[in-house]
Amino acid sequence: MSAVQQAKQLIDTLTTELRQHNYNYYVLAQPSISDYDFDKKLEQLATLEKQHPEFADPDSPTQLVGGEITKEFKTVKHRWPMLSLGNTYNEQELLDFDQRIRKAIGDNFEYVCELKFDGLSMSMTYENGKLVRAVTRGNGVEGDEVTTNVRTIHSVPKKLDHGNYPDLFEIRGEVFMHRKAFERLNDDRIESGEVAYANPRNFASGTMKLQDSGEVAKRPLDCFLYFLYTEKVLFKTHWESLQAAKSWGFHVSEHSKLCGTITEVLDFINYWEEKRFGLSFDIDGIVIKVNNYSQQEELGFTAKVPRWAIAYKYKAEQVETVLESVVYNVGRTGAVTPVANLKPIQLAGTTVKRATLHNANQILLLDLHEGDSVYVEKGGEIIPKIISVNPAKRKPGAPAIEYITHCPACGTLLERKEGEAAFYCPNDEGCPPQIVSKMQHFVGRKAMNIDGLGDETIETMYQKDFLAHISDIYDLHLHYDELKTMDRFGEKSIRNMLDGIEKSKQMPFEKVLFGLGIRYIGETVAKKLVAYFKTIERLQAASLEELVAVDEIGERIAQSLIEYFEGEKHREEITKLQSQGLQFVSEEKEVVLQSESLSGKTFIISGTFEKYSRDELKDIIEQNGGKILSSISAKLNYLVAGDNMGPAKLEKANKLNIPIISDEELLGMI
């Protein structure tokens, strides 16, 4: 093959590959390579295209803003295109950027340095002080209208109540999720068997694409604003516009800085390289913008980026250290997670001693051997991970790490379900870490929320044989005298604990069901099941078909429930908990009938409504004799639809010819 043919082939390969990565990143929010590697490939493609302009495709990833518009939302054209930013990972290129600017506009200018928030960009339009539209960047020319989703973000004002703002303006910013919220919500996902997100950016991005704004509202997002666009030229500089936006009530970051020289810019970059880990959210770099609007205009744009701004991106820090051992943790559901113990090393401001290895496949993929020298990285993620092995440093004859075959805690042969990456210890009734963490989960804040019974206490009580099952917690009062012999456990703490246990008997069925810790039954799933089946007897008797008929209950969850209830020990435990007075029936709110006008009619409420919450509409229907169903079937009479209803629901209702009505039409029927 000639050199030219080779170049052509490489251009094609890189183009295809980068398009796929764009899709994974923007549409699926599940990227499979690091940003750094992506940017290197993009740079390689740009260089090749420059050398061989005859092969340069106007639709190349080097020429287009990377995102996409979807079919699920209304498409809206941007009044001002939403561009990307040029980026660099090194100082020299930043100095080159500074030189280019100086050549074009002289030396008399300032930069604004801002944190580069790692989320997704959003454009919001305000008319007469009211938020009327929010649109994603999409392909830069048009984006998805996600106004109802953005309305759920507390820090985005729905209505401005002070300030001298123009009648019409557009403001742009970054929607993101704080690290803490991410960890909490991602843990929930993992618990209920959903696909975990790798970092807060992906989570925020995935959330904005949801059709159900009610679900979006449950995931706390935040938004920093960093660009203002108006028809009338109100301000002379970007800096002024940021101050004004702040005074109108927008969330503008306090960590921006006016810089007179590129040296000041570099100081700012170096300062945040370390300090960024102390922020409550992730940033992936610093954005540097020429401050003055008329100078910005002079510099202009390329098809993809402004020439007056650049992003300096931090490379995820990598260090090399030694793998000391691999240990295996047994979780609440029996999942066995390998963890690497490392020779302690400083990385991104913290000492790293451990890294997650996820599962057996990951160990194979890395080709990990005993005593290997490994590269560890801490990117946007919280838990460091092993990126690769340094084969040059492998000791001759070092054996490969073999995933264990038996449970490290109880010795039972591990099992792996088809299509799953994790191995499980099936001995859930006899495996100590599973028993202890099941009880810890049960008393936890999100489940039964029992005061005075902490994780350590449970561990000790298990070792002392006071506790072996969840139901034993409700017999603790019988062991009052024995409890007093425990270290650091005074009369007052015991009282407090027993009161907490007694009080927990009032917790609703959905909390109890979640507390049982059945695999894949997270908080939301537990709620759905309880709302549908109402009693444990009906849930226990449900067949696979009946279970999957419930909204959002898939086969995997259904199978897990069936297996759980097949266990005789599980059924005994439930019977015992029932006799101890725990709630296994959903408390139906007493409905005071106001009229019979909807009697005999069935409804489902979907989407979001301006004037009512879904719960309010549900009450109205029930107070007038109507019945709420939990899934669309031929038995359904009406679908009450608001904004942003899921397309699957709509399709199903249409297929079954079910009348779709608005909230107003519903009220009209009463």
Ligand X SMILES: NC(=O)c1ccc[n+]([C@@H]2O[C@H](COP(=O)([O-])OP(=O)(O)OC[C@H]3O[C@@H](n4cnc5c(N)ncnc54)[C@H](O)[C@@H]3O)[C@@H](O)[C@H]2O)c1
Mark the binding-site residues, compressed into ranges. Answer: 35-39, 84-85, 114, 137, 174, 289, 313, 407, 410, 425, 431
Q: How far is the CB of 226 from ligand X (least distance, A)?
A: 4
Nearest to 111 by CA among 4, 213, 210, 257: 257
Partners of 627 in the β-ladder: 602
Q: Which of 11, 69, 376, 431 binds Zn ion (CB under 5 A)?
A: 431
How many other C-beta atoms lie within 10 A of the C-beta of residue 280? 9
List of residues 6+ apart from 600 with CB closer than 8 A: 625
Residue 424's binding partner among Zn ion, ligand X, none (Cβ under 5 to 8 angstroms by kind) is: none
329 touching ligand X, by CB under 6 A: no
Half-sphere exposure of 593 (CA within 13 A, CB side): 8
What is the spatial order of strands in the sheet that 602-606 belongs to?
627-628, 602-606, 638-641, 660-661
Residue 431's binding partner among ligand X, Zn ion, none (Cβ under 5 to 8 angstroms by kind) is: Zn ion
How many other C-beta atoms lie within 10 A of the C-beta of residue 343? 13
517: left (phi over 0), alpha (psi -120 to 50) or beta: left
Choosing from 40, 50, 77, 116, which is the catalytic residue? 116
- Of 266 and 425, nearer to Zn ion (C-beta) is 425
Q: How far is the CB of 292 from ligand X (least distance, A)?
A: 16
- Of 25 and 533, nearer to ligand X (C-beta) is 25
- Of 116 and 179, nearer to ligand X (C-beta) is 116
Helices (H) and strands (E) counted in the chain, each on its own, are 25, 22
Active site residue 8: no
Q: Which of 262, 323, 407, 513 binds Zn ion (CB under 5 A)?
A: 407
7 touching Zn ion, by CB under 5 A: no
**466, 483 Cβ separation under 8 angstroms:** yes
List of residues 6+ apart from 561 with CB closer than 8 A: 518, 521, 529, 539, 542, 547
Span interacting with ligand X, options 112-120, 197-205, 533-541, 553-561, rule CB under 6 A? 112-120
Task: Indicate the burial class of 557 (C-beta count within 10 angstroms; 0-12, 13-18, 19 or more).
Answer: buried
410 touching Zn ion, by CB under 5 A: yes
Q: Which of 4, 33, 258, 593 binds ligand X (CB under 6 A)?
A: 33
Span interacting with ligand X, options 94-102, 110-118, 199-207, 350-358, rule CB under 6 A? 110-118
- Please report, in range form, the residues annotated as the binding site for NAD(+): 35-39, 84-85, 114, 137, 174, 289, 313
Q: Which of 117, 197, 308, 532 binds ligand X (CB under 6 A)?
A: 117
Q: What tokens were used for 175? A: 């929607």
How many other C-beta atoms lie within 10 A of the C-beta of residue 65? 22
Q: Which of 11, 49, 60, 66 binds ligand X (CB under 6 A)?
A: 66
**367, 399 Cβ separation under 8 angstroms:** no
Count the site residues for ligand X by CB under 6 A: 24
Q: How far apart are CA 447 and CA 219, in angstroms?
A: 19
Per-residue mark of binding to ligand X, 202-231 (x: CB under 6 A): ------------------------x-----
Residue 175's binding partner among Zn ion, ligand X, none (Cβ under 5 to 8 angstroms by kind) is: none
Q: Name the site residues for ligand X (rule: CB under 6 A).
A: 21-22, 24-25, 31, 33-35, 38-39, 65-66, 84-85, 87, 114, 116-117, 121, 137, 174, 226, 287, 311
- Catalytic residue numbers read 116
